[in-house]
Structure 1
Amino acid sequence: MGHRRPYPSAPNPRTSYGYRTTGRRGAAVPPLLLDDGRRRLTEFLMPAAVILAGVLIVVAFGFIISRAVRDDNKQAIPPVQPPALGDVPLNPPADQFPIPLPSASDSRPPSPSPTPSKSRTTRPAPTTTTPKPPDQGSVKVARNDVPSRVDLTAEGSRDWVHWGEQSTFSLERRADGDFQILEGAPTAPRFRHGFSDELFSWRDGSPVNDSDGTPTGIRTCGKGNGFTISAPAGTSTRTLRLYVGALAGRGKLTARLSAGSASATSTFEERSNNLDTAVFVITYRAPRNGKINLSWITEEAFSQDCGGVALEAATLR
C-alpha cells in the first residue's frame, strides 16, 4: 500500500475579534481593543460605588437623628417621685373640705317608701252570646166549626180534594192542582157516608167537574184506625184545612214537618152515634223544602158497633 498524504493540519484557533494570539502567522491583538474593555468596566463600577456610598450616608444619618430624639424625650419628662412623709401637710388649707366618713348609724338601709294603694277598677261582666238555635220550622193547629157550605174551588187556590162522592174509594180533586194533597195507602176498614150537615161544592174538579153541594165523605171504625195525608212544605207559610168528623169516638190529629222537628197535635171527639164535624186549620212553615205529614187516627172508640173518625175534604193555599 502506498503512503497517504497526511491531512492538512487544522487552522489555528482564533481568539477574540478573529486574531490569532500564537503561531507563526498569528497577528497580535491591537492594544486599542484591550484598553476599550477596561474602560467599559471602569465606567460601570464608578457609578455603583457612588450610589452605595450615598445609601450608607443616609442610613447613618437617620440612625444618629433617632438616637438624639430618644435621649431628649427621656430628659424632658422627669420621673414622678412620691412625696416624702414629712412633706404631707397635717392641716389642709381652709378652702379644702374634708370628706366625711360614714358612721355606723348611716349604714342602716333606708326605709321603703309607702306604696300607693291601687284603686280597684270594676270590669264589666263579659257578655255571653247565646248561639241562635237552628230553625226547626213551625206548625200551628186550630180547630173551628165547619160552615154550612164550603166552596172548595175558592178556598183551595193551590189544591183541594174531596172523598166519597161516587164510591168508598172515589177521590175528587182540583184538575190543575198537580196532586199536591195526597192520601196515604188505606190500611183500615173504610166506609162511605152521606150524612154530613155541611155541603161541599166545586167548579174545577176531576173526575167530577163540578158539584153544587154534597154531604158525602168516608169513615173508619175501631181504635188505632184512621187516615194519613201529606202536602208540600217550604220556607213560605202555607195553610192546610182538613175537614173531619167523629162518631162514637175520639180522634187525634198529628201534624209534623219532614224538614225540621216542628209538630203539633189536636183532638176532636163525639160520644154519641151521630156524626159531628170540625175543621182543623194547620198553618206551617218549614226551614227548607219538604212535606207536612198528617195523621187522623181513632184514639178511642166509644161504641162496639163502629166508633171512629171520618174524613170529608181538604184544601191548600
Structure 2
Amino acid sequence: MADEDRTRTDSGAGDASAKHRPGAAASGQTRTASRRVARARQRRRWAVEGVAALACLAALISYLGIRSDPAPDDDQAARPDGVTGVAARSPGFPATDGRTADAGVAEPGLRPRQRPPSPDPTPSATAPAPPPPAQQPPVLSVTRAEMPAEVNLTAVGTRDWMHWGQRGANSSVRKRAGSGEIVDEGGAGTRVAWDGNQEHVRWSDGSSQRSARDSADGVYTCGAGNGFSLSVAGSGEPRTVQLYGGTWMARGRLEARLSTGGPASSAVLEDPYTSKSAQFTVTFTVPKGARLLLTWKVEKVFTPHCGNVGLQAVAVR
C-alpha cells in the first residue's frame, strides 16, 4: 500500500511539473498566432473577392450602357480622314438666304422635310369583260341576172345545193355531205317535171345521184298564185343563195323575207310570149336559228294554156 501511494504521488508531481515546462507554453502561443494569421488571411480574401465582384458589376453596367445607346444614323459615314461624320445628302434644301444648303449642314430655322403620307391602297377592281362581238344586223337583198348556159352546182354551192326534176316531178338531188341548209317547203299548185330547159346544170358531189352532165331537167307549176316555197337556215354570218328559175308566158316574182321579220325584197322575171330563164342572187344575214324564206310564184299569166314558173336548182355558199 505504501508503495502504491508513493507511486500516485510521484505521478501527480510529474504532471504538475510538466504543465509548467517552458516548451508547453510556447506551443500554445504558436497555435493562437496561427489562428490570428488565418483569420487575417480570410478577411483579405473576402476583401479581394468583394473588390473583384464590384469591378465585374461596374463592367457589366458600362457594357449595358453602351448597348442601350442609339445606333448612329444611316446617313453617317466615315470620312476619308477616319472621323465619322454626317454623310453627304442630296442638295435641294433651301438655305435661309435663298441659296441651296450644303449637303450635311443643318440650317437654323429649318424643319425636317416631311414625307407625304402614303396613299390608301386602291382596291383592285376586276376589269370588265369585253362585250361579246356584235352580231351582224339582219341583211337582205335580191338581184337578178341572166342565167349562164351551164351551171356547175358543185362549184357554186360550196355549202349546200339542191336540184329538182331529175327523175320525175317529186324527185330531187342534194349535195353529198352538204350543210342541209336548203329546205323544200312545198308550195301551191301541182308540180310537173320538165326536161327541155335551155340552160343546163351539172354536179359531181350529189347524194342520190353522184354526178350529172348537161342536165336540162326541172319542175314547173301553172296558174297565177301557184309556185314554190323554200327556206335557207341562217348562222349569223353572211350567206349567198343562187336560185335558177324561169317563166313561160307569165310574170314570176321571187320574194325574199326573213323569219325574224323586217322588210322583204323581191325581183320579177316576165316574158308574155315565150320562155325566159334567170339567175337570182339573194344575200342575207340572220342569227343562228332564223331562216331566209323564199317564194317563187306566178304573179300573172299571159295565156290560158298553163302560164307558169319553173325551178331547176338552188345553191348556197
Runs of 4+ in 1 over 4 A off after TM superposition: none
Distance across 1 between alignment mates of 2:285 and 2:291: 10
Partner of 2:219: 218
Are 1:290 and 2:259 counterparts? no
Helix, strand or coil: the match of 2:236?
A: coil
Displacement of 1:179 after TM fit?
2.4
Q: CA deviation at 1:153?
A: 0.4
Q: Distance in 2 between matches of 1:216 and 1:279?
A: 16
- Aligned residue identity for 2:270: E
CA distance in 2, matches of 1:237, 1:262: 17
SS in 1 for 2:306: coil
The code of the aligned residue for 1:152 comes to L
Secondary structure at 1:153's aligned position in 2?
Answer: helix
Count of matched residue pairs: 183
Shift of 1:164: 0.3
**Deviation for aligned residue 1:188:** 0.9
1:95-174 equivalences under 5 Å are 137-174=138-175
Unaligned runs of 5+ in 2: 1-134
Any conservation in 1 of the 2:181–2:233 contact (CA below 8 Å)? yes
Aligned counterparts of 1:208 and 1:285: Cα–Cα separation in 2: 31
**Counterparts of 1:140-289 in structure 2 under 5 Å?**
140-272=141-273, 274-287=274-287, 289=289
Cα shift readout 1:255-283 (whole Å, capped 9, x = no counterpart): 011124142111111111x3210011001
Q: CA deviation at 1:241?
A: 0.4
Check whether the contact 2:143–2:281 (CA below 8 A) recurs between aligned residues. yes
| Secondary structure class of the residue paired with 1:295 | strand
Aligned residue identity for 2:169: T
Taking the aligned partners of 2:136 and 2:316, their CA distance within structure 1 comes to 23
Structure 1 regions of 5+ residues with no counterpart? 1-133
Larger CA Rg, structure 1 vs 2? 1
CA-to-aligned-CA distance 1:27-47 (integer Å, 9 cap, x gap): xxxxxxxxxxxxxxxxxxxxx
Asked if structure 2 preserves the Cα contact closer than 8 Å seen for 1:195 and 1:275, the reply is no
**What TM-score comes out, normalization by structure 1 length?**
0.55
- Secondary structure, counterpart of 2:219 in structure 1: strand
1:211-236: CA deviations, max 9, x gaps? 01201100011000000000011321
Partner SS, residue 206 of structure 1: coil
Residues 141, 265 of structure 1: 8 Å contact kept:
yes
Deviation at 1:287, TM superposition (A): 4.8
Contact 1:252–1:298 (8 Å) recurs in 2: yes
Q: Quick one: percent identity of the two aligned structures?
A: 33
